[in-house]
Chains A and B, each alone.
Chain A
Amino acid sequence: GQQVMQIPQYQHVQEGEDFTTYCNSSTTLSNIQWYKQRPGGHPVFLIQLVKSGEVKKQKRLTFQFGEAKKNSSLHITATQTTDVGTYFCAGRRHGQNFVFGPGTRLSVLP
């Protein structure tokens, strides 16, 4: 079946440093979503990418969908303590449900 992997599993950064998490699928995806889950909270939708090579920005967050539509990345510039949480990607093949990756847990040291 479809597998979605994420690296790294954990990332500790100093406040102000950049952070990147990578998402890789074993199959070609029709679209990919990113969610953020704060400690003790529930996942909150961040963005959806649909087109090959698509790049979207939300303030300090940059999302990219690979040319082959099998991988994606989330980059945070100049992290802040409010960025703490677990970032999940969720990939969907055409006609199927989304499959979530295991997440990358980000810690930001002040």
Chain B
Amino acid sequence: DGGITQSPKYLFRKEGQNVTLSCEQNLNHDAMYWYRQDPGQGLRLIYYSQIVNDFQKGDIAEGYSVSREKKESFPLTVTSAQKNPTAFYLCASSMSSGGAYNEQFFGPGTRLTVL
């Protein structure tokens, strides 16, 4: 069953703690993305990766870090430097980042609450 998975669905952390969100895809997609969604603001790009072992900052990368050691996996770490980490985090993948095959497939999301 092909798709993109994120875990956990809900995550609670204390302020000052780092937390890592998981994202896995078995679609054989080259490109992967992390977005943050806040009410009324749509989706904002945090980081993206076009190929294994390479990634670039998006529009709101401060306070976040990523790795892309495997094609299937693109974990996101929310560090204590992120000022307002409580949000809904969406991971997505696409066959490529440009051209015709850039339809993005989204995971179910992780809702992070920092207490």
Instruction: With a 10 A CB-CB cut-off, give which of B33, B42, B48, B103 has the most chain A CB atoms.
Output: B42
Give A98 to B98 CA distance when docked, in angstroms.
10
Q: Count the B residues whose beta carbon is within 8 Å of the partner chain — how many? A: 22
Check B106–A42 contact: CB distance below 8 A.
yes
Check B41–A43 contact: CB distance below 8 A.
no
**Which of B44, B97, B107 contacts A100, CB < 8 Å?**
B44
Contact digits for A14-56, partner B, Cβ 8 Å, 1 yes 0 no: 0000000000000000000101000001111100100000000
Check B40–A42 contact: CB distance below 8 A.
no
Check A102–B109 contact: CB distance below 8 A.
no
Check B90–A43 contact: CB distance below 8 A.
yes
Q: Any chain A CB within 8 A of the CB of B108?
A: yes
Check B103–A88 contact: CB distance below 8 A.
no
Q: Any chain A CB within 8 A of the CB of B45?
A: yes
Q: Any chain B CB within 8 A of the CB of A97?
A: yes
Q: Any chain A CB within 8 A of the CB of B43?
A: yes
- Which chain B positions have C-beta within 8 A of A103? 42
Check B45–A97 contact: CB distance below 8 A.
yes
- Which chain B positions have C-beta within 8 A of A45? 103-105
Check A97–B58 contact: CB distance below 8 A.
yes
Check A97–B44 contact: CB distance below 8 A.
no
Check B42–A98 contact: CB distance below 8 A.
no
Q: Which residue of A lies closest to B41 (CB)?
A: A102
Instruction: Across the A-B interface, give the 3 residue pairs with the lowest CB-CB distance, nearest first.
Output: A100-B43, A42-B106, A102-B42
Interface residues of B (CB under 8 A from A): 33, 35, 40-45, 48, 58-59, 90, 97-98, 102-109
Interface residues of A (CB under 8 A from B): 1, 9, 33, 35, 41-45, 48, 88, 90, 92, 95, 97-103
5 contacts between A and B (CB under 8 A): A1-B59, A42-B109, A90-B43, A100-B35, A100-B42
